[in-house]
Amino acid sequence: MKAVGIIVEYNPFHNGHFYHVQESRKQTEADCVVAVMSGHFLQRGEPALVSKWARTKMALEGGVDIVIELPYAFSTQHADLFASGAMSILSALNVDSFCFGSENGDIQSFLHAERFYHRHHEKVSLYVQRAMEEGFSYPRALSLALKTVGALENLLDLSQPNNILGYAYIKTLVQKNYPIKPYTITRIQSHYHDEELSSSTVTSATSIRKALFAKKSNLQTVDRYIPESTGKYLHEYLLTYGLYHEWENYFSYLKYKLLTMTPQQLQEIYEIEEGIEYRLLHYIKQSKTFSEFIRSVKNKRYTWTRLQRMCVHILNHTTKEQMETALKEQTASYIRLLGMTKKGQAYLKLQKKKLGLPFISTLSKFQHPQLEQDIKATSIYGLALPEPIRSKFLFNEYRIPPILVD
């Protein structure tokens, strides 16, 4: 059986994701689609709209055959570490190919950019450092550096979010020498950051979430943009838990954490550096909402996304020491199965003796610092829920077995 790997968040699974799954299978002629999916906290520093189990069901009914969790240690990171963790899992699962969506849509552009960066690494790094000293974020600094050094090369546009991630995937693939053939497909009709619903049937996950959180909104507002199964699971989640998750649900917990910490204690939290702790502690006292808080702290150096990731680590009390331990190898340390189809089950059976990492289907039989972070993240994620549902949710890591869809 041939398998194609994809790296996803599905926040939530929509028609664009369905297209990506189908095109990945078609272009690579794969029998099986393996998705590495972020857990309860995501790469842009946000809580997922619904739980990882609800999103796993959406994925499996949307054409994915295997869903593996990307550990918190990687799912809440900048592009390079995010890619490193996800690609290490796909490699351990022995996928033949890998396909990602991008604004560019041409795999040769990504390979060319990686080769150029490798040849001119020292010069590019120098320009990156200069740009960051001027107050630019790392992604923006890298984009500017490549444009400057490779002015005559017509290099990949790294100001686009999916191109940034795709470039990180390719860089990891080449540097680690993984025997996986890369593919990319063009993101269709809607941009990653688009906040307004499109006029077609494909729109961004950002616009879907915004619509769901709008006053007097309901699922009918987004019906045309999502598969029927996604609508079913979103409706089911709202009936069961009474909400969709967003940062505002956690703001009081974040505020409590910050109001009870000293600058020295805050400096111990992962990603807190360069004196940002003083801005955080200053603005938390006068902010009434999470969005107001981030708007107040944000500046040229600290992007909205980077600040959100800091807040995720404060909320989960993830220290630099804990993250350093979890990221010792800079690769995932296990394969955590969230769900599969019968076809996915058949693929895993074939690969069982050839997997490159320990395989987890029963949580109590495995221990690792990365897994400890995942379990804690689920507990924190559950704080948004009302009692007595909240208490039950905290045991879901141990209670819910891998989901099997026929």
Annotated binding residues for ATP, written as ranges, equal 7-20, 101, 162, 187-188
Residue 301's SS3 state is coil
Residue 149's SS3 state is helix
Residues of the binding site: 7-20, 101, 162, 187-188
Measured distance CA(374)–CA(72) in Å, rounded: 6
Measured distance CA(318)–CA(41) in Å, rounded: 13
Instruction: Please report how many Cα atoms fall inside a 13 Å half-sphere around the Cα of residue 190, on the Cβ side.
Output: 23
Residue 163 CB coordination number (10 Å): 24
Antiparallel, parallel or unpaired: β 181-186 and 97-102? parallel
Measured distance CA(283)–CA(293) in Å, rounded: 6
Residue 397's SS3 state is helix
Q: Give me the DSSP letters along 8-67.
A: E--TT--HHHHHHHHHHHHHHT-SEEEEEEE-SB-TTS-B-SS-HHHHHHHHHHTT-SEE
- Long-range contacts of residues 291-297, Cβ cutoff 8 Å, at least 24 apart: 291/247, 291/248, 293/251
| C-alpha dihedral sign at 101, 102, 103, 106 | negative
First-to-last alpha carbon distance for the chain, in angstroms, is 18
